[in-house]
Amino acid sequence: MAEIFVVVEHRKGEVREITYQMLWKAHELCQKLSYKLTAVLIGGKDEPFINHIAERADSVIAVEGEETKNFNGDLYKEILFRLIQEKRPFLTLIGQTPWGMDFAPALSIKTGYPVATDCVDVLVENGRPKAVRQVYSGKLFSRVSFKEAEGYLVTIRSGAFPSDKVGERKAEVIKEGIPAGLPEMKKQFMAFEDTGAGAVDITQAELLVSIGRGVGEAENISPVKELADRMKGMLSCSRPVVDKNWLPKYHQVGTSGKSVKPKVYLALGISGAFQHVAGITGAGTVIAVNKDKKAPIFRVADYGVVEDLFKIVEALKAKLA
């Protein structure tokens, strides 16, 4: 039976959200094509989350070893190359993340399989996949065709799909050791440092008051922070605010910051670039305030207000006085 591979991404004993999103899409494709969904887990011995993966796949191939406990792109490439040679999957889904982009291009060269990167959807037409990518800062979608090949590689943008569990599955877990005869690795894992760690953890907040470029100046952040405190929420931001050194990076939401799941996300002066939107896909209710009625943030917001953000901030503070 033809199958689709999903490469499991994990860190420090936890599955990354992109993995569940890829499993959701793989489930959809496998249902349509009657293919087998196989999750490939490269990690340490008896990873604690393996049962969560097994509930979303038909099969789990777990390659276990001390060397694979921590990520090594060269090692992933070699292990996946051997698995692909053996199983010949129709499609292999990899996260468009620092991990995935470390080994995906090299894996494409080694297997000879074509690769499409940073995709927001995958379609199958006439027995061949087509990748959907955004161009011109998300204003247009393009469909990318592949040359005919035995298999295909696709890297998936974070936030492109839901992470919900769908269907009833209980995968067979196949545990394997690290293949023998691998070339000597030029990289070595030394230590893991979370550069996003800081004084606050925005991923735990139930309410986030988030600011973007529209805040204007660093001194304008203070009244917004006051509002966040009165609402018993946390202050967060988009990348331009961090790039200007107005707030530390641990406040940043988005693909280069943190993915968040607050019950309420109040976006003030945020345009809504796809890198930022990818970080709020798990939010319960998104409320956007922006002077530009055509701002992309309104496409994903549950409620939108076309107004100067400072008028809204002062009005909310007055209500909470």
Interval 73-115: pLDDT, tens = 999 999 999 999 999 999 999 999 989 999 999 999 999 999 9
Are 146 and 273 in the same domain?
A: no
Let me know if residue 185 belongs to a domain: no
pLDDT at residue 256, rounded to an integer: 78
Are 209 and 162 in the same domain?
A: no
Q: Give residue 156's pLDDT band: very low, low, confident or very high (50, 70, 90).
A: very high
Given 177, 210, 228, which residue is the final one in a domain? 177
pLDDT at 65 > cutoff 80: yes
pLDDT at residue 151, rounded to an integer: 96
pLDDT at residue 242, rounded to an integer: 95
Summarize the confidence of residues 24-52 as an average pLDDT: 94
Q: Across the chain, what does the average pLDDT equal?
A: 92
Q: What is the pLDDT of residues 122-131, one digit of tens each?
A: 999 988 999 9
Q: Please provide residue 242's backbone torsions phi and psi, each rounded to the nearest 5 degrees.
A: -70, -40
pLDDT at residue 197, rounded to an integer: 59
Q: What is the pLDDT of residues 263-321, one digit of tens each?
A: 999 999 999 988 898 889 889 999 999 999 999 999 999 999 999 999 999 999 999 97
pLDDT at residue 21, rounded to an integer: 92
pLDDT at residue 303, rounded to an integer: 97
Q: Name 156's Cβ contacts closer than 8 Å, sequence gap at least 6.
A: 18, 21, 22, 25, 93, 94, 95, 96, 119, 120, 122
Let me know if residue 311 belongs to a domain: yes
pLDDT at 69 > cutoff 70: yes
Let me know if residue 118 belongs to a domain: yes
171 closest CA partner among 21, 32, 26, 18: 26
Summarize the confidence of residues 28-50 as an average pLDDT: 94
Q: What is the CATH number of the domain that holds 128?
A: 3.40.50.620
pLDDT at residue 54, rounded to an integer: 95
User: Which token pair is 128?
Assistant: 């061949």
Are 103 and 207 in the same domain?
A: no
**Count of domains observed in the chain:** 2
Q: What is the pLDDT of residues 176-189, one digit of tens each?
A: 999 998 888 888 88
Range of the domain at 245: 202-320
pLDDT at residue 95, rounded to an integer: 95
Are 136 and 246 in the same domain?
A: no
Q: For residues 266 and 290, give the distance between their C-alpha atoms in angstroms, rounded to a whole number.
A: 11
pLDDT at residue 34, rounded to an integer: 95
| End-to-end Cα spacing for the chain | 64
Are 168 and 66 in the same domain?
A: yes
Are 166 and 242 in the same domain?
A: no
pTM of the complete model: 0.77
